[in-house]
A and B are shown apart, each in its own frame.
Chain A
């Protein structure tokens, strides 16, 4: 059974600081996705990582994928309050693009 684990589960940080969220998974996969969820809202796609070594950046967020280590990271640079949300990683469990397994989420709170 595929397990997807995120850490930390909760992160409180000051504006302007840097931090990294980690997503570990337990089986081989080359496809990983990051989503953002605001309180009470749906999920918004942030990044699609489709190969080993893939790196994507959007604003203050940068995601990377190391398929050999079965690890993805979401790095936050100079955090701002607007980044406060819950972040989920999701792994394509059989590389076929038909089923995702989600991590438990990292709740990020950025304080002014």
Chain B
């Protein structure tokens, strides 16, 4: 079955540690996205990538980094510079130029 997977589902880290969230898709989509969702809020765009080896900052990129070495994979690193990293992180993908995005199941990150 085609889809988007994110791992892990839950992640706990100590403050000051970098952590990498995985996102993989087998939909053959060119475009991939990372969003952050805080409780009771909408989604905010962190980074997006339209093609391999290229990505752009979204609205809240500070304290995050990404890479896009393969079409299927778009990992997100939450660095120690991110002041409030505890949140629900959602990865999505789409056909390039066609806006409907398909979402993965999400990773809930808790930093203490």
Given A31-B99, A97-B94, A97-B98, check contact A42 B106 (CB 8 Å): yes
The answer to whether B42 touches A100 (Cβ under 8 A) is: no
Interface size class of B (residues with CB under 8 A): 20 to 34
**What mask results when residues 96 to 112 of chain A are scored 1 for a CB within 8 Å of chain B, else 0?**
11111111110100000
Residue in A31, A44, A99 whose beta carbon sits within 8 Å of that of B45 in the complex: A99
- A45 CA to B4 CA in the complex, in Å? 14
Residues of B within 8 A of A42 (CB): 90, 103-106
Docked complex: B76-112 residues within 8 A CB-CB of A? 90, 92, 94-106
- A33 CA to B43 CA in the complex, in Å? 14
Given A42-B90, A42-B103, A42-B105, check contact A96 B97 (CB 8 Å): yes
17 extra interchain contacts, Cβ-Cβ under 8 A, other than A42-B106, A98-B48?
A31-B99, A33-B99, A41-B106, A42-B90, A42-B103, A42-B105, A43-B43, A43-B92, A44-B103, A92-B99, A97-B94, A98-B31, A98-B50, A98-B97, A99-B58, A100-B99, A107-B40
Residues of B within 8 A of A104 (CB): 41-42
Q: How many residues of A contact B (CB 8 A)?
A: 23
A25 beta carbon closer than 8 Å to chain B: no
- A104 CA to B50 CA in the complex, in Å? 25
A90, A98, A102: which has the most chain B beta carbons within 10 Å? A98
B95 and chain A: residue at smallest CB distance: A97
**14 A-B residue pairs with CB within 8 Å:** A33-B100, A42-B103, A42-B105, A43-B90, A43-B103, A48-B99, A90-B43, A90-B101, A97-B97, A97-B98, A98-B50, A102-B43, A103-B42, A104-B42
